[in-house]
Amino acid sequence: MMRTVFGALRVVRFGHIVKRFQYECLRAERACLFTVLCVNIVQAFLYEVHSMGMTMSEKILAVHAGRDTVSPGQLIEAHLDMTLANDITAPIAIQEFRKLGVNSVWDNSRIALVPDHFTPNKDIKSAEQAKYLRDFAGEMQIINYFEVGKMGIEHALLPEQGLVLPGDLMIGADSHTCTYGALGAFSTGVGSTDLACAMATGKSWFKVPGSLKIVLKNRCRKWVGGKDIILKIIGDIGVDGARYMAMEFAGDGIASLSMDSRFTIANMAIEAGAKNGIFPVDTRTEAYVQESMKSGRRSDRYRIFESDADAEYEKTIEYDLGTIEPQVAFPHLPENTKNISDINEIRIDQVVIGSCTNGRLEDLRTAAAVLKGNTVASHVRCLIFPATQNIYLQALREGLIETFVEAGAVVSTPTCGPCLGGHLGILARGEKAVSTTNRNFVGRMGHRESEVYLASPAVAAASAVTGVISSPDAVVK
């Protein structure tokens, strides 16, 4: 009798639950113990509930922890595919690494060291820090150390060099390490001590994050791209709207987004407090990855993870990309966003186009399209920073650099310098800048009474021409 009942029940949607349920019932039937049946049914139900689908973030963490499943809140230790530090964070990491009493690193091909923040050295102290990093790289025979002249801003450089692949688990001693989620990797920023221990062991501990799903639909309007999308999201959910969470992007709108736009979006997941940002892998991702792997720096195969249809999300938010207009985040938080059409005249002193957020080729092409045939306003300094040497070279070959110089902009070697008020383009008291970077905190780009307005390369370039915060439509007819 029971077989008939459960045979009929199997047609329902929850076939796998019913199957287990049926199995336990049949066991109980043979034992003729109704109580056993009841207990087993409850157990089976709990098992099935527990083994609900997983998100792609959870799957990557589970695989690297050698587990079948993980769930939000769980603390795990997991193996890493790649680690990263720069000239600010590596020195402390090296000091802590020395305390561990080991003579060598876990794997000299899986540690990327990039002197990009205060380089080319801004002063003697910075030079000492860069030297400390360089000496350590030499001592440990770090293969992926990138000297000035070969380096770039780390979060543009590592994907370009094929050092991060889909399905990777990676940590970096820089908060914008979340950028690599654009490739379908689980990637997150940590401090120097975490990195020191990872350099020695190849492992790190993680609290499995809950996930926030952001569904992107349709296509962006002209002059709207990744920066506007992520600023819009942060404006809506706030700078702690995704605190401790995985920010997972989904939806048909992703297909139309370039890899450069996806990097920009994942890059700023941290500005909503997220642990990581992550995109599904599609043909565009794979084309990018296969090109980057020609560097030969990684020879292992990448893995593509997809979120299950029944994966659990703490919240889901939908965006129609076609309704988003260029965004500007006002001082002093990235959540202070406004539509470009709602902004009254704000006179600016400086424009910065570049950084790990917006220093890629697409960004430079956009800026050049706006600046072409125009001139930077007489009261504005316009600074442009290609993010890597390769991007710089390509921009040179495409004539973008010529366009910038002709427009009256200056073009710099790759560096994080101005983004964090480190060097090059520091603001004086009371000055205002439009910047394609990622943070506009108090004092971020210089004097504590200066102001940073975050925007896309298109808005930044247009503002450079007009001298006030402007839509590209105001410049390009």
Partner 1 sequence: MQQKGKLVFKGTAHKLGDNIDTDVIIPARYLNTLDPDELASHCMEDIDKNFSTQVKRGDIIVGGENFGCGSSREHAPLAIKSSGVSCVIASSFARIFYRNAINIGLPILESRTASEHTRSGDLLEVDFKKGTITNMTSGESFVSESFPEFMQEIINMGGLVNRTKQKLEGNE
- Which residue ranges make up the site for partner 1 (CB under 8 A)? 75, 88-89, 91-92, 95-96, 99-102, 117-118, 122-123, 125-126, 129, 172-175, 177, 189-194, 196-197, 200-201, 205, 207, 239-240, 243-244, 273, 275, 333, 420-422, 426, 439, 441-444, 448
Residue (89 or 261) nearer to partner 1, CB: 89
d(CA 23, CA 326): 57
d(CA 185, CA 305): 9
Q: Show the tokens assigned to 186.
A: 């689980």
CA 199 remoteness from chain centre? 21
Check: CB of residue 80 under 8 Å from CB of residue 197. Answer: no
Check: CB of residue 402 under 8 Å from CB of residue 375. Answer: no
Residue (64 or 444) nearer to partner 1, CB: 444
Helix 361-371 vs helix 400-407: crossing angle, to nearest 10 = 40
- Looking at the DSSP assignment, which residues form a beta bridge with residue 111? 83
Residue (306 or 449) nearer to partner 1, CB: 449
Q: Which DSSP string corresponds to 416-470?
A: SGGGGTSSSSPBPTT-EEEESSS---TTTTBSTT-EEEE--HHHHHHHHHHSB--
Cis ω for the linkage preceding 120 (within 30 of 0): yes
Q: Which residue has the tokens 């004092």?
A: 443
Shortest distance, CB of residue 140 to partner 1, whole angstroms? 16
Residue (175 or 412) nearer to partner 1, CB: 175
Residue (216 or 269) nearer to partner 1, CB: 269
Shortest distance, CB of residue 110 to partner 1, whole angstroms? 17
d(CA 158, CA 163): 5
Shortest distance, CB of residue 305 to partner 1, whole angstroms? 22
Shortest distance, CB of residue 420 to partner 1, whole angstroms? 4
Per-residue DSSP letter, 208:
P
Starting at the edge strand found earlier in the chain, the sheet holding 350-353 runs 337-339, 327-329, 451-454, 432-435, 350-353, 381-384, 410-411
Shortest distance, CB of residue 117 to partner 1, whole angstroms? 8
Shortest distance, CB of residue 192 to partner 1, whole angstroms? 4
Shortest distance, CB of residue 164 to partner 1, whole angstroms? 17
Shortest distance, CB of residue 6 to partner 1, whole angstroms? 41
Residue (6 or 441) nearer to partner 1, CB: 441
Residue (91 or 277) nearer to partner 1, CB: 91
Residue (326 or 422) nearer to partner 1, CB: 422
